[in-house]
Each structure stands twice: as structure tokens, then as C-alpha cells.
Amino acid sequence: MSDDYLHLNLFTMDAVEHVSVGSWRYPGDASARYADRDYWTEVARTAERGGFDAVFFADVRGVYDVYAESADPAIERAVQTPSNDPAYVVPAMAEVTDDLGFAVTKSTSYNHPYQLAREFSTLDHTTDGRIAFNVVTSYLESAAANLGLEGRMEHDERYDRADEFMDVVYALWEDSWEDDAVVRDRESGRYTDPEKVHAIEHDGDYFSVPGPHGCEPSPQRSPVIYQAGSSDRGREFAAKHAEGVFVSQPNEQAVVDYMDDLRERAAGYGRDPDALNFFPGIVPIVAPTEELAEAKRASYEEHIDVEGVLTLLSGFTDIDLSELDPDQKLEHVETQAMQGVVNAFTTNDEHEWTVREMAEFAGLGTTSPVVVGTGEQVADELERWYTDLGVDGFNVKEVVRPDDLTAFVDLVVPELRERGLLPDADERESGLTLRERMTGDARLPDDHPARQ
């Protein structure tokens, strides 16, 4: 990381329900305003006020139709459907902020790299270099059918395609246009020097892209790369490509083991292991007193939509949880969807989870720890993870939106600033790209595969 500060992202989705299913019914919750531009500009202003690095947008292709073999529960309960494409609210959010970054999730299985490279270059230009790409391979079978494909690719093959996808976008972003290719010489009428714009001549197993890139270099060239894979193949991918890693493990030891494992794998790719920045998700429930915070948690729990949670988890795991006895113990299976989620509740935790326990645990934020208390107590816990476990920051998940963000900014952020864990608002450097804020460097380091 660039400094001695911890780094905050807001983890959200341009949808009614993201990972705390049922919360849209909570009094005062604004999730149903997700399609309203004002909702997102307010979120952006609050996150910037709280010194957040970025708003991190999850996104999904397809509908959650594994539970009860039907899309109806997901549609009825707004489980990530309806949702909008997050890339299109980013310019509005960038317009009302100066320093906030935006991580946009896009799938390497259902996009074409030539097209995606153009979209991210455009966003990077439009936001003055405040963009990250959360690289996902997608997990729902229903996405493939809607895109005219015969079926979802197998889990590990999706990562093979993703590797080649990244080769193409890196070549377009990093190698196609030299820094001084654009000359803008009005007198000669020469805008660009064609000698300094290069074809990439990619011809691989999945893609054939001659190039050149259609956009001139944007402030960051490659956006900041985020990844969250946690299966064996997913870890290889994250270790090779990620600058930011979204950690989702069931207990503290598993978090430490995961980080150690990824650092070791990154070294195997010739990368500096410290170039990987780890962000566990957390669900802060914060109030002026401990009693109020506990009361808030209790009332949040009353609003958990258990069937909606099971619908979401069935999609994550590819297991129809409607068929299982709620008191049945979960067993490890090799899923074609998110292997990391299955592992989290089986092989990565000593506790033997039942279906019911998993649904109750996942009701608030799905796979992240819930931290309840005063601003001081929540800051204590974040400081402990930052200092003792060595994480670089946190992806903050709201249950009730945007009240949990506002409470975090009003109660926890001042504590973090007081302790020197976040810069004071007037000390925060302005005009940086997201990568500069995160890592201190404008460009991807030379040992990253994009620069090889």
C-alpha cells in the first residue's frame, strides 16, 4: 500500500437487493431507489466525505433460478434482479466528487475484450483515472442461455478464457499506443503519429484481435485490477493479476492463510507479493451506544428474508437448497459455480454448518463478519484486523442503505481519523488516480503481467 493508512471501499450493487436479502423492506431503507441517479450521487458524496477510496459495484449476468428450479423466488424477492449496469451511473457519481474511485464488475465470460477495453478506457478518461475493473468469470448457468451460448463454460475453463482475455486487454491498454503517439499538431493536421500506434496481433484459443486499440491512453491506461476468486484455479488467477483482492473467508485464520497463500502464488508469477492489497468484506452495524447498536442488529435480523437468502446462496453454490433439510449438515461438493463459497462453509472452517445456520449467518452481508457496536468499538475491530492480521483495508457492506454508510462515516470514520488510520479530510491528497491513491504508483509495476 501507498502509506500507513487503511483503505475503505463501499461494496454495493446497482440493484434492490445485493447481499442482505430482505433489507429493502426495512423502514427508511432506500434500496428501492437504486434506479434513481440522485440515490447514487448522494452515496458518492457520503463515501467521499468518509475518505473512501472507491465505491465497488458488484454485478451479475443471468437470474438466480437454481433455488426450487425457478426464477420466481428471485424475481419476487428482488434477489439481484432487477439490476442495472453499474458502469452507467459512474459518470454521474464522478461528476459530484473529486477523489472517489469506482470499481466496476465485468465478466470475462460474457464480454469481448476488444469491446471491454474500450469501455474501461472511456470510463478512465471520463473519471480522470478513478476506475478499477473487478474481473469476474460469472457463475449462473442462466447467463449463458441469454447470450446465445449452449451452456456455461466449466469452472476452470472460465478462468483459462479469463487469462487470455486479460492478455488482450493488457496489450490494448499498455502496448498499443505509445505515450507520445498523440501529437495534436493543428498546423500539419496531424493528430496522431501512426508510427506510434501499434497492432497487437493477438491470435489465441478464444480471441483473435489484431488491434490497434481504439482509444488513446487514459490516465491509468489499465484500470486498477480487482479479483475475488478463491478456488484453487481462482487463486492462481488472482495471484497473477490482482492489485486488490476481495477476501471472503469464514474466520480469521482462514483470512490469514488465504493472504499467505496468494502472496506465495504471486511470487511464483515473479510479482512482488506486497503488491497484492487485501480487502475483507465487513458489515458494520454502528450506533451511538452499544445497546442501540445491538437493538439495531436485532431488528435487522427480523427483516432477513430467509427464502431470498437461500435463493441467493443456491445461485452462488449451484445447489438447490430448497431440497435440503434445514438441519442437514453441509457437505463439500465440487461446484461449477462459486467454489470459494462452498469451501467457506465446508473445508475452510472447522465448524460443521447446517443449511439453517448458513442461511441465518448469510442474512446480513452473506459471507462477511458483522461488527456491532459504537464507532469506537467498530474502529477497534478494524484496527485489530489491520494491525494484527495485516489486511490493507475493508470492503464495507451496508445492510440498510444508505443509513449504514452514513452511520459508518459519522461514527467510525472520525475514530479512524483520530487514531491516524485514515487521513483527515484536509490532509487527503487531491487529484490522484485511484491507483496512485491505493498503491502510490501511477502505472502498474514492471513485474505485473500487463507490463511484460
Ligand X SMILES: Cc1cc2nc3c(=O)[nH]c(=O)nc-3n(C[C@H](O)[C@H](O)[C@H](O)COP(=O)(O)O)c2cc1C
Q: Where does this chain bind ligand X (CB under 6 A)?
A: 58-60, 105, 107, 136-139, 228-231, 234, 246, 248, 281, 338-340
Grid cell locating 262: 496468494
CB of 28 to ligand X, least distance (A): 26
Residue among 152 and 296 whose Cβ is closer to ligand X: 152
CB-count burial class (<10 Å; 0-12, 13-18, 19+) for 148: exposed
CB of 336 to ligand X, least distance (A): 9
Strands 202-203 and 208-209: antiparallel
Residue 96, by phi and psi: left (phi above 0), alpha (psi -120 to 50) or beta? alpha
CB of 236 to ligand X, least distance (A): 9
CB of 266 to ligand X, least distance (A): 16
- What does each C-alpha distance from 130 to 51, 206, 311 come to in angstroms? 14, 30, 34
Cell 439490476 belongs to residue = 83
Other Cβ atoms less than 10 A from the Cβ of 264: the count is 12
Residue among 24 and 226 whose Cβ is closer to ligand X: 226
Residue among 283 and 413 whose Cβ is closer to ligand X: 283
CB of 14 to ligand X, least distance (A): 11
Under DSSP, is residue 72 helix (H, G, I), strand (E, B) or coil?
helix
> What element of type H or E holds 355?
helix 355-362
CB of 365 to ligand X, least distance (A): 10
Residue among 106 and 435 whose Cβ is closer to ligand X: 106
Measured between alpha carbons, how far is 395 from 424 in angstroms, rounded to an integer?
20
Residue among 135 and 287 whose Cβ is closer to ligand X: 135
Residue among 241 and 437 whose Cβ is closer to ligand X: 241
Closest CA to 264 of 225, 236, 223: 236
